[in-house]
């Protein structure tokens, strides 16, 4: 019963600087070493744009998160084509201070797969994405496209269910080839809601 109570206390929220250690720990727990990020890098990105990381907070800490990185078309294309490293994105990160046109790089979708409630947490994280897209639109942000690549077979299965398509495009990162997925915001909202 106590675990159920804790699940009810789980909620999606915008990440703050104090969450970066827990976010990095979750990332390290789920992803292989070549995809680990430091808390300092997360803090650096949050200081430029505090609205890009959405996390699932529970009494036990961060159990899930996703990130939509706003970029201009040139930087967005460069990332999806492998010409710009994920570690260089901070130099191209846009803010949401002024209504503008952005391309969202879907860089992270993580849930603690070692938790008994991982499926419930995954559902909460995924169902938050349309809310975030609507929030950005209401703020005056014109989202031209959302794109990313799947670094796991699970990601390659989940993204199409979320409205993303792969037209045979791939990218090389860390010496590995990954499928690239793209979507219009309306496709994502319709597929998830």
| Mean pLDDT in residue range 132-140 | 96
Q: Cα–Cα distance between 23 and 40 in angstroms, integer?
A: 11
Spatial strand order of the sheet with 176-183 comes to 11-14, 53-58, 61-71, 101-111, 142-149, 176-183, 170-173
Q: Cα–Cα distance between 152 and 156 in angstroms, integer?
A: 6
Query: Would you list the domain boundaries of the chain?
Result: 2-144
The model's pTM = 0.89
Superfamily of domain 2-144: Gcn5-related N-acetyltransferase (GNAT) (3.40.630.30)
| Of residues 160 and 155, more confidently modeled | 160
| pLDDT at 31 exceeding the cut of 90 | no
| Of residues 120 and 176, more confidently modeled | 120
**Would you say 55 and 62 are in contact if contact means Cβ atoms under 8 Å apart?**
yes
Digit-coded pLDDT (tens) for 63-85:
999 999 999 999 999 999 999 98
pLDDT value at position 89?
Answer: 87
């Amino acid at each position: 019963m106590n675990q159920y109570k804790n699940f009810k206390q789980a909620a999606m929220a915008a990440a703050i600087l104090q969450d970066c250690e827990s976010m990095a720990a979750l990332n390290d727990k789920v992803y292989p070493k070549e995809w680990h990020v430091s808390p300092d890098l997360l803090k650096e990105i949050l200081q430029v744009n505090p609205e890009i990381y959405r996390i699932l907070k529970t009494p036990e800490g961060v159990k899930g998160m996703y990130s939509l990185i706003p970029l201009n078309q040139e930087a967005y294309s460069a990332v999806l084509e492998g010409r710009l490293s994920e570690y260089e994105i901070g130099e191209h990160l846009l803010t949401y201070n002024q209504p503008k046109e952005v391309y969202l790089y879907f860089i992270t979708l993580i849930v603690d797969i070692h938790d008994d409630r991982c499926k419930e947490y995954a559902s909460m994280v995924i169902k938050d994405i349309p809310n975030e897209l609507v929030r950005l639109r209401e703020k005056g942000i014109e989202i031209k496209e959302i794109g990313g690549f799947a670094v796991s077979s699970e990601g390659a299965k989940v993204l199409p269910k979320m409205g993303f398509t792969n037209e045979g495009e791939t990218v090389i990162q860390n010496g590995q080839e990954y499928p690239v997925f793209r979507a219009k915001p309306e496709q994502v909202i319709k597929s998830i809601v």
